[in-house]
Amino acid sequence: MYHITIDTQKRILKLLNADNDLVKQYPVAIGKPSTPTPAGTWTITKKALWGEQFGGHFMQLSVPWGTFGIHGTNKPWSIGKAVSNGCIRMNNHDAEELYNLVSIGTQVQIY
């Protein structure tokens, strides 16, 4: 079983195993100041294949006040920046890899 941490200052997503060992880390984009990525501890509630804008792979988070998720992007230049509407953007190949590794119910801590 995996869990995920997202450091919004460093803009890094870490995939950790049950022993808290780092399995993989990925650069990400986060929400801009006017639409920040929601800090807290969430779970992945849905996994879906969405359109090109979302890089095909979307993992929805349990945030109760909107639709937020981890997904790919058709704007690879945005990775490492604070530019999204609150979602966590990844390079498409990274989003596909993560999508295939994690399951619904995976814990995601955003800080």
Residue of 53, 52, 89 lying closest to 71 (CA atoms): 89
Q: Which pLDDT belongs to residue 23?
A: 98
Q: Are 101 and 13 in contact (CB under 8 A)?
A: no
Contact between residue 41 and residue 109 where contact means Cβ atoms under 8 Å apart: yes
What is the reported pLDDT for 50?
84
Q: Is 57 a catalytic residue?
A: no
What is the share, in percent, of the chain residues with pLDDT greater than 70? Answer: 100
pLDDT over 80 (residue 52) = no
Residues facing residue 58 across a β-bridge? 48, 71
Kindly name the residue from 3, 57, 71, 93 that is annotated as catalytic: 71
If one counts the domains in the chain, the total is 1
The token pair at 57 is 């792979």
Q: Confidence class of residue 54 from pLDDT cuts 50, 70 and 90?
A: confident
State the CATH number of the domain containing residue 12. 2.40.440.10
Q: What is the per-residue pLDDT for 95?
A: 97
Catalytic residue among 3, 57, 87, 93: 87
What is the per-residue pLDDT across 55-102, written as a single tens digit (0 to 9) for each? 889 999 999 999 999 999 999 999 999 999 999 999 999 999 999 999
Instruction: Please give the mean pLDDT across all residues of the chain.
Output: 96
Q: Could you list the residue range(s) of the whole structural domain that residue 99 is in?
A: 3-110
Cβ–Cβ contacts within 10 Å for residue 68, how many? 23
Active site residue 71: yes
User: What was the pLDDT predicted at 30?
Assistant: 98
Residues 25/17, Cβ–Cβ less than 8 Å: no
Mean pLDDT of 45-53: 88
The predicted-structure confidence for 81-92, as pLDDT tens digits, reads as follows 999 999 999 999
